[in-house]
Chains A and B, each alone.
Chain A
Amino acid sequence: GQNIDQPTEMTATEGAIVQINCTYQTSGFNGLFWYQQHAGEAPTFLSYNVLDGLEEKGRFSSFLSRSKGYSYLLLKELQMKDSASYLCAVWFSGGYNKLIFGAGTRLAVHP
């Protein structure tokens, strides 16, 4: 199977830090994406990890551990506009190159 698991919902306070976790089955793994999707809008690319470690991009960072089948998205200095769904997606290869998405984590940022 190619299950991608992430929490359904999270809440956080403006200005705080939040970590959204994602776990996946490691067989065939060839890269992991995080996308942000505001309600009624298209998903937009946030980050791509293929090697272990932390990738930092402004207020957003993404971490990957290939051996553990684990990633997280870290959002710092939260703003109200960060309220959105965050989609974890894994590229699986080995005869079936495709991007498999998790169900998304709906983040609500409160004042």
Chain B
Amino acid sequence: ETGVTQTPRHLVMGMTNKKSLKCEQHLGHNAMYWYKQSAKKPLELMFVYSLEERVENNSVPSRFSPECPNSSHLFLHLHTLQPEDSALYLCASSQDSTEASNEQFFGPGTRLTVL
């Protein structure tokens, strides 16, 4: 257990569905992240939030919409996805988003399949 939880762990959705991924951290951290991990590819940073403010949007298509209502919770809202969006979506948190030495703690991920 890393102190970061994600739900659901698995999700299958059609291209016209709308769904949301949830992440919660119990570590008192100020920064939260969404990453995409596709097979045999590096983790790709999608979004960074620091103190509930989005500080990084890494050229992610608008069909992915993040929301950070407080420093402990992070959502990723999904709509009209494409099959190539099928991947493992990982949430992470760290004490600070600007301090290089702060390790990131990852959740177990949501395995998303888009049909």
Report which A residues bind B (CB closer than 8 A): 4, 8, 30-31, 33, 35, 41-45, 48, 50, 87, 89, 91, 93, 97-104
Contact = CB atoms under 8 A, between A and B. Distances in A.
Describe B's contact surface by its main secondary structure. loop
Contact of A8 (B40, B56, B103): B40
A44 to B, nearest CB: 7
A42 B98 CA distance: 22
5 contacts: A35-B106, A43-B106, A45-B103, A98-B45, A98-B58
B3 to A, nearest CB: 10
B43 A44 contact: no
Contacts of B105: 45
A104 B58 CA distance: 21
A42 B106 contact: yes
Contact of A4 (B2, B40, B42): B42
Interface string B7-51: 000000000000000000000000000000000111101001000
B100 interface: yes
A43 B56 contact: no
Contacts of A4: 42
A63 to B, nearest CB: 18
A48 B103 contact: yes
B97 interface: yes
A31 B41 CA distance: 21
Contact of A33 (B45, B58, B103, B109): B103
A42 B2 contact: yes
Nearest to A91: B100
B80 interface: no
A28 to B, nearest CB: 11
